[in-house]
Amino acid sequence: MMMAKKQDVRAPTYNLVVVGLSGTEKEKGQCGVGKSCLCNRFVRPSADDFYLDHTSVLSTSDFGGRVVNNDHFLFWGEVGRALEEGLECRLHVVEQTEFIDDQTFQPHRSTALQPYIKRAASTKLASAEKLMYFCTDQLGLEQDFEQKQMPEGKLQVDGFLLCVDVSRGMNRSFDDQMKFVTNLYTQLGKTKKPVVLALTKCDEGVERYIKDSHTFALAKKNVQVVETSARSNVNVELAFLTLAQLIDKSRGKSKIIPYFEALKQQ
């Protein structure tokens, strides 16, 4: 009986966006907070397909190629996963980053010149004929890799995975990162979409940073926290699936509408 019912239900597709501190070296220090590595480990977990280095410093031609496509976000691809109760879903993964010009060391100019925290909270993403990203070596050699396109039209964002790097970081202060994360969280909140906090690089995690992140999450309406390591492949699935489940739950809930609004809608 149960099986027959499930087959009738079409697998829902959710669009998940990975965000966190990004920018020039002045803002993010010598290395990123781990957004790319987290995406890589989730969509292509095998050791052969996992890369630790995903540069954000690009030439103008790589920025304009079909993978980056003059955007400050990457399409990491689509995966299928089973949510609770065996419900299948498709997940599209996008990373919001900031690409730096290898000549000027300033952010590449794109059509939308918004600051990162505004742009990262966009709930609609579009990029004509943009290709799925694999790794840095792919840029400029797009023909040598599988060419999979980001879905055409506007991608409706369903939820955000907000990364906090809890490792020592390279010449970047944790407190500055948390200021950025706090502002970013405020922007994400305006979208009303579910947010999950992913602590990254827990294999090198600093106890105080982990504690502070949990304190932050508790203060923000108890947002869920997942302690991950892309390098050690720990809890990466859990982070994305926690978000997907939150989205799925919020979909199922019927909205309670006051009488007069309901009357107007008739």
Number of neighbours of residue 53 by Cβ within 10 angstroms:
11
Sign of the CA dihedral running 121, 177, 97, 41: negative
- To ligand GTP, the closest distance from the beta carbon of 232 in angstroms equals 6
* Helix boundaries (H) for 9-132: 25-28, 35-43, 60-64, 116-120
Of 163 and 197, CB closest to Mg ion: 163
Other residues' Cβ atoms within 10 Å of the Cβ of residue 106: 9
The rounded Cα 251 to chain-centroid distance in angstroms is 20
Note the Cα 113 to chain centre separation in Å.
20
Shortest distance, position 86 Cβ to Mg ion, whole Å: 33
The option from ligand GTP, Mg ion, none interacting with 238 (CB < 5 to 8 A, set by class) reads none
Q: SS3 for 30-47, per residue?
A: CCCCCHHHHHHHHHCCCH
Rg (CA), the chain: 19
**Please, what is the minimum distance in Å from the beta carbon of residue 126 to ligand GTP?**
20
CB of 164 closer than 8 Å to CB of 195: no
For the segment 101-160, give every residue that binds ligand GTP (CB under 6 A): none
Site for ligand GTP in 205-224 (CB under 6 A): none
The binding site for Mg ion (CB under 5 A) comprises: 35-36, 97
The values of phi and psi at residue 196, to 5°, are -120, 140
Give the one residue of 17, 230, 239, 241 binding ligand GTP; rule: CB under 6 A: 230
Stretch that binds ligand GTP, among 119-127, 176-184, 199-207, 250-258 (CB under 6 A): 199-207
Footprint of ligand GTP on 246-265 (CB under 6 A): none
Q: How far apart are CA 243 and CA 36, in angstroms?
A: 17
Q: Which is nearer to Mg ion, 32 or 205 (CB)?
A: 32
> Residue 201 binds which entry of Mg ion, ligand GTP, none, with Cβ cut-offs from 5 to 8 Å by kind?
ligand GTP
Instruction: Look at residue 243 and give the partner it binds from ligand GTP, Mg ion, none, a contact being a CB closer than 5 to 8 Å depending on partner kind.
Output: none
Whether residue 100 contacts residue 24, with contact meaning beta carbons closer than 8 Å, is answered with yes
Segment 28 to 67, residues that bind ligand GTP, using CB under 6 A: 28, 31-37, 52-54, 56
Q: Where do contacts with ligand GTP occur on this chain (CB under 6 A)? A: 20, 22, 28, 31-37, 52-54, 56, 97, 167, 200-201, 203-204, 229-231
